[in-house]
Chains A and B, each alone.
Chain A
């Protein structure tokens, strides 16, 4: 049977991918970020999960507001890298796990989560800016991904409770897949930041630290909050951390945080954490 070996929470700021592509690993402005991902990369290299299940959001790249899905699951064997205005990043196409993804889609719908599905679409930095920090891209990706897009851009967005419940349903779906596979969950986004309005540039490190505690010890309390609460505490765009709740819902309730890094250089608090 497939099993979930742990979870990763990570920011997906586009500059993470840009810093990686420009080789800024030893640049003093970026080193604290890269150092923070080393234990994650090491864990993945040791545990060798077959699949990373990525809960992320598209940034009005693959999907546009003429039809912007609330939850959309990728069910292909391959995903191209999207051009977001700067050309395509020099990373290989992502390998998908269509068979497991189809099983998850069927299981979720049976569980009353009527998700959308997509095939053969290009994916943006929401997924691959953190991915290149954790997984070697050459000679080719060491495993497969399953992308789950979540609408955190256009309100109404799903409630934190819905995300947490969806995570539990995904956990159940993966655990009922007959093949022996190791799956790691990844929840992306945040932490605090706001890109728009007079409050653009807003951060709250105190809230970020509290969130990093609660996501481990008391996700139920986060699930009980509203999106408005998340927006007030973490900024308009920072509310996207509700996607960490999908990851948290899918992994073991008693999972413990094994590693955490926090870096707030510019507009977005960049965090990464490992749960096992």
Chain B
């Protein structure tokens, strides 16, 4: 199995960060995060805040973020799934889209 499989160990490690990301399904939490990110992130550790501030998708994934919780942050910040996938692959969006059959379908 891939080292990225979201198992109970990874889930425990990422729980605090994932809880923050999951919270963005509430409109009020998104508004707070967009208007005053430091206040919205006050429950996170400094290392976690840093990854969120930089929207470092790969670092958050490696740390223990669930892809499906990262999607909530991506939607809040207007980032698409192909952009996240490109980041995991270490590519730019343009490079990634060149590998797709219908690059416009997004």
Interface residues of A (CB under 8 A from B): 14-15, 19, 29-30, 59-61, 64-66, 82-87, 153-156, 195-201, 228, 231, 236-237, 264-267
> What's the dominant secondary structure at chain B's contact region?
helix
Check B5 against A266 for contact (C-beta < 8 Å): no
**B40 within 8 A of partner (CB):** no
B18's partner among A19, A60, A198, A264 (CB-CB below 8 A) is A60
Is the C-beta of B25 less than 8 angstroms from some C-beta in chain A? yes
Residue among A197, A236, A265 making CB contact with B100, cutoff 8 Å? A265
Given A84-B72, A85-B72, A228-B1, A29–B25 Cβ distance below 8 Å? Answer: no
B7 touching A155, Cβ below 8 Å: yes
A200 to B6, CA, bound (A): 14
A14: which B residues are within 8 A, CB to CB? 81
Whether B101 pairs with A265 at a CB distance below 8 angstroms is yes
Q: Given A60-B68, A66-B15, A153 and B6 touching (CB < 8 A)?
A: yes
What total count of A-B pairs have CB within 8 Å? 113
Chain B interface (Cβ < 8 Å from any Cβ of A): 1-8, 11, 15, 18-19, 22, 24-27, 30, 61, 66-69, 71-76, 81-82, 84-85, 88-90, 96, 99-106
In angstroms, Cα B102 to Cα A64, docked, is 33
Residues of A within 8 A of B22 (CB): 60-61, 64
Q: Identify which of B67, B88, B103 contacts A198 (C-beta below 8 A).
A: B88
User: Roughly how many angstroms separate A201 CA and B61 CA in the complex, as a whole number?
Assistant: 15
Contact of A200 with B11 at beta-carbon distance under 8 Å, contacts A236-B2, A264-B101, A265-B100 already known: no
Chain A: minimal CB distance from B69 (Å)? 5
| Contacts known (A29-B104, A201-B96); A195 close to B81, Cβ less than 8 A | yes
Write 26 A-B pairs (CB below 8 A) sorted by A numbering: A60-B18, A60-B68, A60-B69, A61-B22, A61-B25, A61-B68, A65-B15, A65-B18, A66-B15, A84-B72, A84-B75, A85-B71, A85-B74, A154-B8, A155-B7, A156-B7, A195-B67, A195-B88, A196-B4, A198-B89, A201-B85, A201-B99, A265-B101, A267-B82, A267-B85, A267-B100
A64 touches B18 (CB 8 A): yes
Known: A85-B72, A196-B88. 17 other contacts (CB 8 A): A15-B81, A60-B66, A64-B18, A64-B19, A83-B26, A154-B66, A197-B3, A197-B61, A198-B90, A200-B88, A236-B2, A236-B5, A265-B100, A265-B101, A266-B102, A267-B82, A267-B85
Cβ-defined contact, A155 with B6, below 8 A: yes
Assembly CA distance A36 to B11 (angstroms): 37
Q: Is the CB of B4 within 8 A of A197?
A: yes
